[in-house]
Amino acid sequence: MPDNKLNSDTRERILDVAERQFMAHGYEATSMRMITSMAEVNLAAVNYHFGSKEGLLRDVFRRRLTWLNRERLAALDALEQQANGAPLKPSQVLEAFFGTLLRIGEDESLGGMTFLRLLGRTLTDPSEFIRTFFAKEYAVVIERYKLALFRAVPDVPKAEIVWRLHFMLGAMSYAIAGTDILQVITGLEIGDISGKEEDGKSEARRLSERLMPFLLGGLRAALPNPADSYNQQQVPLAKTARNTSLEKKR
Amino acid sequence: MPDNKLNSDTRERILDVAERQFMAHGYEATSMRMITSMAEVNLAAVNYHFGSKEGLLRDVFRRRLTWLNRERLAALDALEQQANGAPLKPSQVLEAFFGTLLRIGEDESLGGMTFLRLLGRTLTDPSEFIRTFFAKEYAVVIERYKLALFRAVPDVPKAEIVWRLHFMLGAMSYAIAGTDILQVITGLEIGDISGKEEDGKSEARRLSERLMPFLLGGLRAALPNPADSYNQQQVPLAKTARNTSLEKKR
DNA sequence: GTCTATATGTGGATAGAC
DNA sequence: GTCTATCCACATATAGAC
């Protein structure tokens, strides 16, 4: 008895609304009643279709990650086949990995920016369930890209590359998850970091144009000199810093 | 009638436990009963001391951010005074900003890695309350560092620097918040990414040694060439990617 | 400042008719 | 597959004695 994905209308509607609500308020702060009322389905429908709230979250992600995993592997396959045994360029590997992800942001049928933000935010969620879920979902793809990066950047030690892959994932996820948040923090408008499409470029594309050079620069950066670790000889710290304009009351 | 910070034992105990629990389970998933029972204080004590659960979270952060903001500004002050009007080096600015943050991770009395993880995770929290709180707390410091970076990296356009500051914050926060998570995702041990102090280096220091070169490389990276944005000519995508080893069932 | 007791709401989940 | 009605655990918050 194979899983007959019936794709009933209500099932998809629930997934769509859940995706948006989980993104907007987070998993814990989103109640099933919020979801079912906005999706205009009965409360019991969620448990019928997904078994539980966790099951719903799981399927919200699976719906998108299946495509993403397949596409990422295919992109790497295509590049390696075309390279004919030669190592890929670092930029190619990053394009395959991050460019594929960002294509989701340009295509509503793949989840759009809603899903990208949800993904970025959920990756740091501390819950055991979510953590192990992502570990399983990502394992195969990450492993292949790691190997590709080892070959693409042979002059950087492997351990260092793994760290940097880690950093790159962070910069990316955070940049996506935090657009609305960090635009406040950084204070600038950056030519409107949020939703609109101006000069014909989608938000995802504008982000990518900025992010890719940054990631490439970080990936290929000069190795750390173990002699000067941080916070030596550089900042003559007053042990008790004097007051600055900050120290506001309350 | 000035705010008499009485620093009663219970108040501090509540803050300590709350900090740890919010980090471990997230704000929404942490109940006040979890906190009060672990802190061995009465349930009503939280509302007495902090007014509400939101008030508790606010004070958990304020306790640490006051120090961090002051120290970050002082570090920049010291550097600029010593530079005597000349622009700082990019590495100096990053050291002052990120090095100061990472010093928290080495000092339990400043919150240690527990607070760093909490901070990294909370920065992407979608809740309105948290977002505006951080925006206010960070505004002054970010503004000053932005200006310092403009001067330190004059050949990169200001808008681009703001983006990259954004990316750097992300790489940093994520690297901290996700150690336990992303160590699974990246699959490698990286010489034990988690808690222990080996070869005499704290987790924060080991992280810093890897992160700083990455950030510097990204900050100073060559400008994007508008001609070749991502995903052009590079990957000959099969529209429907063929199956790979992934397509697992269920 | 600390406690007990409780008000009042909301959460996820399910039983069982249709 | 969909609905109503309901169970019941647990949430935050407060009133008021000590």
Task: Give backbone dihedrals phi and psi of A248, rounded to 5 degrees, phi first.
Answer: -80, 155
Percent above pLDDT 70 for chain A: 78
Instruction: Note the pLDDT tens digit of each residue in A3-21.
Output: 443 456 999 999 999 999 9
- From A99, A162, A234, residue closest to B95, measured CB to CB: A234
Instruction: Decide: A178 and B123 in contact? Cβ < 8 Å.
Output: yes
Residues of chain B found within 8 Å of residue A24, distances taken between Cβ atoms: 126
DSSP reduced 3-state for A33: helix
The pLDDT score that the predictor gives to residue B194 is 46
Residues of chain A found within 8 Å of residue B237, distances taken between Cβ atoms: 71, 74-75, 78
CA distance A101 to A105: 7
Instruction: Note the pLDDT tens digit of each residue in B197-216.
Output: 556 788 888 899 999 999 99
Pair of tokens at residue A223: 């190795």
Residues of chain B found within 8 Å of residue A141, distances taken between Cβ atoms: 246
Residue B19 pLDDT exceeds 90: yes
CA–C1' A124–C4 (A):
39
CA–C1' A7–D5 (A):
28
Task: Give backbone dihedrals phi and psi of A72, rounded to 5 degrees, phi first.
Answer: -65, -40
Q: Do B211 and A167 touch (CB under 8 A)?
A: yes
DSSP reduced 3-state for A126: coil
Residue B162 pLDDT exceeds 80: yes
DSSP reduced 3-state for B138: helix
Q: Do A167 and B226 touch (CB under 8 A)?
A: no
**From the CB of residue A238, how many other CB atoms can be counted at a distance below 10 Å?**
12
Q: Do B103 and A231 touch (CB under 8 A)?
A: yes
- Higher-confidence residue of A189 and A105: namely A105
Residues of chain B found within 8 Å of residue A212, distances taken between Cβ atoms: 224, 230
Residue B101 pLDDT exceeds 80: yes
Average pLDDT, chain A: 85
Averaged over A55-64, what is the pLDDT? 98
Q: Do B135 and A70 touch (CB under 8 A)?
A: no
CA distance A29 to chain B (A): 6
Q: Do B230 and A99 touch (CB under 8 A)?
A: yes
CA distance B50 to B14: 10
- From B103, B146, B213, residue closest to A221, measured CB to CB: B213
Which amino acid is it at B241?
A: A
CA distance B125 to A10: 29
Question: Which bases of chain C are contacted by protein, using any atom under 7 A from a CB?
Answer: 1-6, 10-16
pTM of the predicted model as reported, rounded to 2 decimal places: 0.88
CA distance B42 to chain A (A): 25
Averaged over B48-71, what is the pLDDT? 98
Instruction: Note the pLDDT tens digit of each residue in A152-161.
Output: 999 999 999 9
- Residue in B82, B174, B48 with CA at minimum distance from that of residue A238: B82
Footprint of strand D on the protein (CB under 7 A): A 6, 8-11, 41-45, 48-49; B 30-34, 43-44, 47, 51-54
CA–C1' B37–C1 (A):
17
- The half-sphere exposure of B78 on its side-chain side, counting CA atoms within 13 A, is 22
Specify which residue's alpha carbon is closest to the C1' of nucleotide D14.
B44
Average pLDDT, chain B: 85
Q: Where are the alpha helices (DSSP H) in chain A?
A: 9-25, 32-39, 43-50, 53-83, 90-94, 100-106, 112-122, 128-152, 158-177, 179-186, 203-219
Residues of chain A found within 8 Å of residue B211, distances taken between Cβ atoms: 163, 167
Pair of tokens at residue B5: 């910070």
- Residue in A74, A104, A105, A80 with CA at minimum distance from that of residue A92: A80
- The half-sphere exposure of A49 on its side-chain side, counting CA atoms within 13 A, is 24
- Higher-confidence residue of A73 and B245: namely A73
Residue A227 pLDDT exceeds 80: no
CA distance A246 to B192: 38
- Higher-confidence residue of B247 and A27: namely A27
The pLDDT score that the predictor gives to residue A203 is 83
CA–C1' A3–D2 (A):
21
CA–C1' B48–D16 (A):
14
Between helix A179-186 and helix B158-177 the angle, nearest 10°, is: 120
* Beta strand extents in chain B (DSSP E only): none
